[in-house]
Amino acid sequence: MLRVRAAVGTDWESLRDLRLQALGDAPDAFRSTLEDESERGDDTWRSMAAASERQPDAQSFVLEVAGVASGLTHAWIDRNRDLLHIAAMWVRPSTRGRGGGGALVSAALAWGAGRGAGTATLAVTIGNHAAERLYVAMGFAPTGTTEPLRDGSQLRVAWMTRPL
C-alpha cells in the first residue's frame, strides 16, 4: 500500500537516508552531490526536517510503501511569482513502477494549490526519460528553458511547468 504524507521533524533520519540514497542512485538527477550532502551533520538534517513544520510555504513529503519510507520530494512556494517549485523527487528503485512518483507529485501539487499557487514548475535532467514521462503524464510541459545541472556540469536540465 502506498501512502504519501507531509514530513515532520521526527522524520529527519528517514529524510537524510532517502536523500543520500537518491544522490547515490541518481547523481545526475540532482543539483547537489552525495559528497556535499554527506558532510551535513545530524543537527542540519534535524533542522531541515523541522522546517517543514515551521514554514508555511515549504513542505517535504515522504512516500511510504508497506510502512517503509521509500521516496521523497520537496515543494515550496515563491509568493512573488505565485509559483510552486517541486524538487528533490526520488523513489527507491525497489518500489518504482507502483505509482509512488505520481503520488508524490500529486501531493505536492495539491499542497501548492491549497496554498494559492497558480503554477507549478520543476526541472528535469535532459535524458532522464522516466522522469520526463512522469511529469508529462502529470500535466507538465517543457518551457524551452534549459540550464546546466550544476556548475561545471555538461548535463543540462529542462524546465517544465503546469497550471494548478
Grid coordinates given for 18 = 532517502
Grid coordinates given for 94 = 525497489
Sequence-distant (≥ 6) Cβ neighbours of residue 44 within 8 angstroms = none
The C-alpha atoms of residue 122 and residue 87 are separated, in whole angstroms, by: 6
Tally of structural domains, the chain: 1
Q: 61 has which bridge partners?
A: 6, 73
Residues 27 and 34: beta-carbon distance below 8 Å: yes
Q: How confident is the model at residue 66 (pLDDT cuts 50, 70, 90)?
A: very high
The answer to pTM > 0.85 is: yes
CATH of the domain at 44: 3.40.630.30
Residues 101 and 83: beta-carbon distance below 8 Å: no
| R_g of the chain computed on alpha carbons | 15
Alpha helices in the chain (DSSP H): 12-25, 34-38, 42-54, 100-114, 129-137
* Structure confidence by residue, pLDDT tens digits, 20-61: 999 999 999 999 999 999 999 999 999 989 887 888 899 999
Tell me which residue range forms the domain holding 154. 2-163
What is the pLDDT at residue 121? 98
* Structure confidence by residue, pLDDT tens digits, 67-114: 999 999 999 999 888 999 999 999 999 999 999 999 999 999 999 999
